[in-house]
Amino acid sequence: MKPTEQIPATQPDSSPSTISFRDALVFWFKLGWISFGGPAGQIALLHQELVERRRWISESRFLHALNYCMLLPGPEAQQLATYMGWLMHRTRGGVVAGVLFVLPSLFILIALSWIYLRFGDVPVVAGLFYGIKPAVTAIVVHAAYRIGSRTLKNPVLWCIATAAFVAIFALSLPFPVIVAGAALVGYLGGRFSPAKFAIGGGHGNSAKAERAPALIDDATPIPEHARFGWWRLTRVLITGALLWVLPMSALAMGLGWEHTLTQMAWFFTKAALLTFGGAYAVLPYVYQGAVDRYGWLSPTQMIDGLALGETTPGPLIMIVAFVGFLGGHANPVFGQDAAFLSGAVAAALVTWFTFLPSFVFILAGGPLVESTHGNLRLTAPLTAITAAVVGVVVNLALFFGYHVLWPQGFSGVFDPVAAVLLVVSALALFRWKQSVIRVIAGSAAVGLLLKSLPL
């Protein structure tokens, strides 16, 4: 996230009297193009704009919604934007906010994926990616540290993280099995030793500063559309089911169950329901399926895709668009002469099936959340899942490190230059507290310089 870049507030010096749908639409559109910095940076930007500058919503109601989004699988920053849009302007507001949070990233990644395939072997592009890959490895290590530092508060949670690492690294167990096992341990632990599974905070403390009342303040009554009703819940669930069943049925009947696009739709539906802990947690699952099982892309391309995801706005899980584009481009449903179109359709398809559950979770669960101010809490199973995520992300870091430092495998030559770039990138993140964008940009510049030098 660019720390100095802000969206101009429509009324910077006084409390707003109303939030027009047009004002909100302009805000969500601009937000989608500048939401860099991963979930932490995106949530901070939402808080800065909606709570501090525009005063559209109060601090406590913002954090209450955030707590709910943290419980859900899926990209929490995009879900939070969807929730805020829904609270202000009903279903259309939630849909617009959630879609515009993702759409710019989809367009950008389709373009970058094509450039990557078309010009990836050009020295300039190759040099950029040579420098970026060690930085990405350091970023994943830093992600494991961040998740672990706020989650692993006692030996029990450390044991869960260690067991998850062994399960995926040594036993090659599928990620869903690890999630299910951690949830079971958390459920039993919550019953017999609840203190061990208590959560000690979320994304950070946010002291409640003295400020003018927000339009949707602590004491503002729940809007009519945000009140719970069985008919509303049923309608959302039926609509969500139809939006999944209809395109999935069309793919299965029109192309066949084993077709690339059908398998992508099914695979990324499962991935969408397993992203507890954020995008880094689901990346090993995407790797197992997209690289090992289906062969939609290579391990090196997976690392490159993460690099592109880190440098574009929107949720990091938008790496699925890169995976979809490469898989669709390699298996063109519209023929070899239309490989780009096949890739673009695949990227849009996997984005649809990845994010659809998030909209259903918010629109279905929002009314329940609004009726439980002060009562919502993280459960013991989710605490255990988050601990397991740490072990899984450590395994991901080792996987990336292996392919970066030994590009031809252990039988090949160790790359000392990549090792230096990795260490410097890690220092920039851990010691010098540099942003992800700066680390990637600096590492890319060094890679380009090294590939440009005559050797």
Q: What is the pLDDT of residue 312?
A: 80
Q: In sequence order, what are the beta bridge partners of 216?
A: 57
In the predicted model, what is the mean pLDDT of residues 91-117?
A: 94
HSE value, Cβ hemisphere, 13 Å, CA-based, for 225: 13
Distance of alpha carbon 221 from alpha carbon 256, whole angstroms: 50
Confirm if 311 and 1 have CB atoms less than 8 A apart: no
CB 134 within 8 A of CB 304: no
Q: How far apart are CA 51 and CA 222, in angstroms?
A: 18
- Residue 140 has a CB neighbour count (10 Å cut-off) of 24
Mean pLDDT confidence for 357-379: 76
**In sequence order, what are the residues at sequence separation of 6 or more whose Cβ sits closer than 8 angstroms to the Cβ of residue 265?**
247, 248, 251, 349, 350, 353
d(CA 335, CA 195) in angstroms, rounded, equals 58
Question: Residue 175 and residue 164: Cα distance in Å, rounded?
Answer: 9
The number of helix segments (H) and strand segments (E) in the chain equals 16, 0
pLDDT for 208: 44
Q: Would you say 358 and 272 are in contact if contact means Cβ atoms under 8 Å apart? A: yes
What is the spatial distance between Cα 167 and Cα 395, in angstroms, rounded to a whole number? Answer: 10
- Quick one: pLDDT at residue 199? 55
> Does the pLDDT value for residue 19 go beyond 90?
no
Say how many C-beta atoms besides its own lie within 10 A of residue 230's C-beta. Answer: 7
Rounded mean pLDDT, 405-416: 88
Residue 276: pLDDT band with limits 50, 70, 90: low
Render pLDDT for 160-191 as a digit per residue (tens, 0 to 9).
999 999 998 999 887 778 888 998 998 898 88
| pLDDT for the residue numbered 214 | 79
Residues 6+ apart with CB under 8 A from 99: none
What span, in angstroms and rounded, lies between the C-alpha atoms of 312 and 14?
Answer: 34
User: What's the pLDDT band for 37 if we cut at 50, 70, 90?
Assistant: low
Question: Which residue, 379, 381, 378, is CA-closest to 182?
Answer: 381
Q: Would you list the DSSP string of 297-357?
A: S-HHHHHHHHHHHHTSSS-GGGHHHHHHHHHHHHS-TT-GGGHHHHHHHHHHHHHHHHHHH
Residue 340 pLDDT > 60, yes or no?
A: yes
Query: What pLDDT shows up at residue 22?
Result: 92
Cα dihedral sign for 448, 283, 325, 315?
Answer: negative
| Per-residue model confidence (pLDDT) at position 129 | 80
* Non-local CB neighbours of 127 within 8 Å, separated by 6+ positions: 447, 448, 449, 450, 451, 452
Average pLDDT, the chain: 83
Spatial CA neighbour of 30 closest among 95, 80, 104, 94: 104
**Across the strands, what pairs with 57?**
216
Q: What is the pTM of this model?
A: 0.73
The rounded distance, in Å, linking the Cα atoms of 364 and 232 is 8
Give φ, ψ of 216 to 5 degrees: -105, 90
Q: How many residues does the chain have?
A: 455
Question: The dihedral of CA 288, 292, 293, 297: what is its sign?
Answer: positive
What's the confidence (pLDDT) of residue 99? Answer: 96
**Nearest of 95, 105, 78 to residue 25 by alpha carbon:** 95
**Residue 100 pLDDT > 80:** yes
* pLDDT above 80 for 422: yes
Q: Which of 301-305, 350-354, 397-401 has the highest mean pLDDT?
A: 350-354
Question: What pLDDT sits at residue 280?
Answer: 67
**Tokens 């719970």 map to which residue?**
228
For residue 216, what is the DSSP state?
B
Token pair recorded at residue 134:
């060690």
